[in-house]
Amino acid sequence: MRKYLLKRVFYMILTLFLVATITFFLMKLMPGTPYSNQQKMTAQQIQIMNEQYGLNKPMWLQYLIYLGGMLHGDFGVSFQFSNQPVSYLIASRIGASAQLGFQAMIFGVVLGIIIGAVAAVHRNTWVDTLCTILSIIGKSVPNFVLAVLLQFYIALKLGWFPIADWGGFSYTVLPTIALGVGPLAETARFIRTGMVDVLNSDYIELAKAKGLSRYGIVYHHALRNSLIPLVTLIGPYTVALMTGSMVIENIFSIPGIGEQFVKSILTNDYPTIMGVTMLFSAGLVAVILITDIIYGIIDPRIRLSGSGD
Amino acid sequence: MKLNKFAKLGAVAVLSAVFLAACGSKSASSSSKQVLNWDENAELPTIDLSKATDRVSFDTLNNTNEGLYRLGKDSKIEPGIATKTTVSNNGMKYTFTLRKNAKWSNGDKVTAKDFVYSWQRTVKPSTGSQYAYLFSGIQNADDITAGKKDASTLGVKAEGNYKLVVTLDKKLPYFKLLMGFPSFYPQSQKAVEKYGSKYGTASKYMVYNGPYELTKWTGTNLSWTLKKNNDYWDKKNVKLSAINYKVNKSNTTAYNLYQSGKLDMTYLNAEQAKQMSNSKELVTRRGSSTFYLEYNQTKKEFQNKKIRQAISLVIDRKQYVNKVLGDGSTVAKGLVASGLSKHNGKDFADEAAVKDATATDTAKAKKLWNEGLKELGVKELSFSILSDDTDAGNKTTPFLQSQIEESLPGAKVSVTNVPFKTRLDRSEKGNFDVVVSAWGADFADPISFLDLFTSDNSYNNGKWKNAEYDKLIEASKTTDAGNATKRWNDLVQAEKILMQDQGISPIYQQAQATLVKSKVKGVIYNSSGANYNFKDAYIK
């Protein structure tokens, strides 16, 4: 187990190093400068600015300087937000995104499991059809459409929740629902398929023959076994949601990190591009590792060992 | 039991949500009278005026800080820190007498030294200001920004605490206008040194000397408040107690907030602007940006004037701004934006307007096109149009393509839409046939536009050249710089040459449609420089 973990951590670091390297050089290939007033600056002025920001140095040297800084926890200073350290920008923006993503995930997965289970138990009845239709709608309607509808009807017309802004739990309700419908539909479909398979298997027949209650069968045997593959799905999904959704954050005017990723690329804000990319990748590799470990724990068929067997 | 717990938790969550929602609406409705709730569509990136580059920063600085002058309606110069200005006979030396009752929000007095310090800080290359070029013309500024001279040699000196003397390298007829632009405001050396690298990165790391103080801005958040500054010298004329800004990147969201009474102003997108075209609350803010076609005149086909004229004449600009854009943008009369600058009560764009410069005349276009093709010795002409991949850019290129291909026989047009920075890069490198470019004025003077198209100007991407034009622009800066009328005529003449030759083909002048509650009065909007001035604003 220890050997396995060490090996995995080594690969994680290697992955992050590769992500940093590839992103760094790809980003330097983008045309333009990080100066928002570039259009009005002459070539000479841009050169002077490049000297100030160390952007005239050879690319390999810039790369080494960046890596060196990163190892010391220094992600540089943003260009868009003049003088603002990237670490501060991320720290001040990630909270809202993470909270929203986490809530959406809980909302989506819990409700998804319930709907999926209900559909599986009542498979091939109108309940199943209804659940399937709902999950197809949930999967195919883009979350921003739902967000706009929720905002208009629930917030503006009915006044039940704030239209936008970020101030307390009530502000998170509508964005959570909008963001959570995706994982909800996904989970419901997943659970339904898994449970239908399990419910048709021999050991369920055996359980029935033993006279176990319907609830006992569904809860202890069918649902638990179908939850295992869900773990693989939830991990990366959680990272994706917690690192922010540009569209939902924009619709509900939430100070999250989602938009920064896109905006930093469009504005050639090199330090922010790197900072946000590293955050996403670190989150993803960490979650993948955790998922694998959890997998080993909940499913005894999977053995965690580094012996290569 | 477990279920019971969940039910309880759920009930608490729902109740608290409803309660919080109720609190939210309560606090909004009880907002006092002189509070303005303002929509913003982008973050505030900095309030360090040496580093500011964007509209939101300049707008904020224009209200939280103050320079020698403030710009009133139609960019009219109004008193700021300066109470008296004398200009030397040759127009190269300005002496400003400063008011003694101007204070920083930390209680310190605003002195001439604060101006000297601020200007030197901005031009110094190590500061990395992207607007240092605006100082060009002030003695030694160009050499300092190029790293050839020390910042202390800049032509700005403090004589005592309340006299500021500025020496110029060359006449700057628009110099006073520049003094109303935030890049020329004073900065407190004490504050800059005290806050170090944090200076200007949050509302608490700054001192203010304008009508309002910035509060509740953390540097990255989406809302902030301008609170009336009780240390401001003219505070008795400031009526608003606070302006609450809220960043809404979705126009739909902002519109909903406006409808629910949480905002007193909202930006509109093109669709909303079309829907609200009859609303009494619709206020269209004319910008100072003109969008125009630049032709790559290093290529033989675009050196041909008739080809350029023909392309310009087939574009139905009215249809374009009304049907395609629909956001309040107007047909450009020429290069210099309408409403930017006036002389003897006449708008520059009207004075310099040339018949046919932005008109539609398909028959004439066809004739010119055929003659042009003949001169080039070809039967057809294929070229591409480059533009931004913004909403407007994506609408522009197909429109131009269809207009040109439909009306000009033998024209084959392809279109390319790329991100803004890529478009700039390709424009600078001359890697285009025809490009949709845009330019916005930094200050309310026609030279802000006309400087672009002198032969050796680095912004002249199409490399259009005209000796007469160059001569007129040069005269406006030298021999005629001291004579407002002569200078005006030079510039008018220059624009006429550019338009008659179709060195570039203007298409439209950008505008921003907004809704403003009718109770909001006294807001001053200028199309160039910092846009909004809230000093005289109030709620009726």
Q: What's the confidence (pLDDT) of residue B332?
A: 95
Q: In this complex, do A173 and B17 lie within 8 Å of one another by their Cβ atoms?
A: yes
Q: Is B478 on the interface with A (CB under 8 A)?
A: no
Q: In this complex, do A33 and B421 lie within 8 Å of one another by their Cβ atoms?
A: yes
**Chain B contact set for A36 (CB, 8 A):** 53-54, 130
Secondary structure, 3-state, B408-433: CCCEEEEEEEECHHHHHHHHHCCCCC
Positive or negative, the CA dihedral B355, B361, B364, B365 is positive
Q: Which amino acid is at B115?
A: F
| Of residues A162, A255, A268, nearest to B421 (C-beta) | A268
Q: What's the confidence (pLDDT) of residue B398?
A: 94
Task: Decide if pLDDT at B24 tops 50.
Answer: no
β-pairing verdict for B434-440 and B381-388: parallel
Q: List pLDDT tens digits, range A165-219.
A: 898 889 999 999 999 998 899 899 888 888 888 888 888 888 888 887 877 787 7
Task: Decide if pLDDT at B1 tops 70.
Answer: no
Q: What angle do CA B254, B257, B259 make, to 5 degrees?
A: 110
Full set of structural domains in chain B with CATH: 35-244+517-539 (3.90.76.10), 289-512 (3.10.105.10)
CA distance linking residue A37 with residue B379, whole number of Å:
42
Q: List pLDDT tens digits, range B110-144.
A: 999 999 999 999 999 888 888 888 999 999 999 99
CA distance linking residue B534 with residue B241, whole number of Å:
11
Task: Decide if pLDDT at B18 tops 60.
Answer: no
**Mean per-residue pLDDT, A75-86:** 88
**Mean per-residue pLDDT, B163-186:** 93
- Look up the pTM and report it: 0.86
Q: Quote the minimal CA–CA distance from B363 to chain A in Å.
A: 37
Report percent pLDDT > 90 for chain B.
Answer: 74
Q: What angle do CA A257, B226, B117 make, to 5 degrees?
A: 90
CA distance linking residue B38 with residue B246, whole number of Å:
6
User: Which residue of B27, B250, B251, B435 is the best one to mutate when testing the A interface, meaning the one whose CB has the most A CBs within 10 A?
Assistant: B250
Q: What's the confidence (pLDDT) of residue B65?
A: 97
Q: List pLDDT tens digits, range B384-410.
A: 999 998 888 888 999 999 999 999 999
Task: Decide if pLDDT at A230 tops 70.
Answer: yes
Q: Is A35 on the interface with B (CB under 8 A)?
A: yes
CA distance linking residue A40 with residue B521, whole number of Å:
34
Q: Quote the minimal CA–CA distance from B457 to chain A in Å.
A: 9
Full set of structural domains in chain A with CATH: 94-306 (1.10.3720.10)
Q: In this complex, do A37 and B256 lie within 8 Å of one another by their Cβ atoms?
A: no
Q: Quote the minimal CA–CA distance from A308 to chain B in Å.
A: 43
pLDDT band per the 50, 70, 90 thresholds, residue B232 = very high
Task: Decide if pLDDT at B30 tops 60.
Answer: no
- The residue of chain A nearest to residue B256, with distances taken between CA atoms, is A156
Q: In this complex, do A266 and B420 lie within 8 Å of one another by their Cβ atoms?
A: yes
CA distance linking residue A42 with residue B169, whole number of Å:
20
User: Which residue of A28, A30, A39, A50 is the best one to mutate when testing the B interface, meaning the one whose CB has the most B CBs within 10 A?
Assistant: A39
Q: List pLDDT tens digits, range A86-114.
A: 999 999 988 899 899 899 999 999 999 99
Task: Decide if pLDDT at B11 tops 70.
Answer: no
Token pair of B533, please?
A: 């001035």
**Chain B contact set for A156 (CB, 8 A):** 256, 259-260
Token pair of A103, please?
A: 């809530």
Q: Is A157 on the interface with B (CB under 8 A)?
A: no
The answer to whether B216 and B203 are in contact (CB under 8 A) is yes
Q: What's the confidence (pLDDT) of residue B154?
A: 96
The answer to whether A102 and A82 are in contact (CB under 8 A) is no
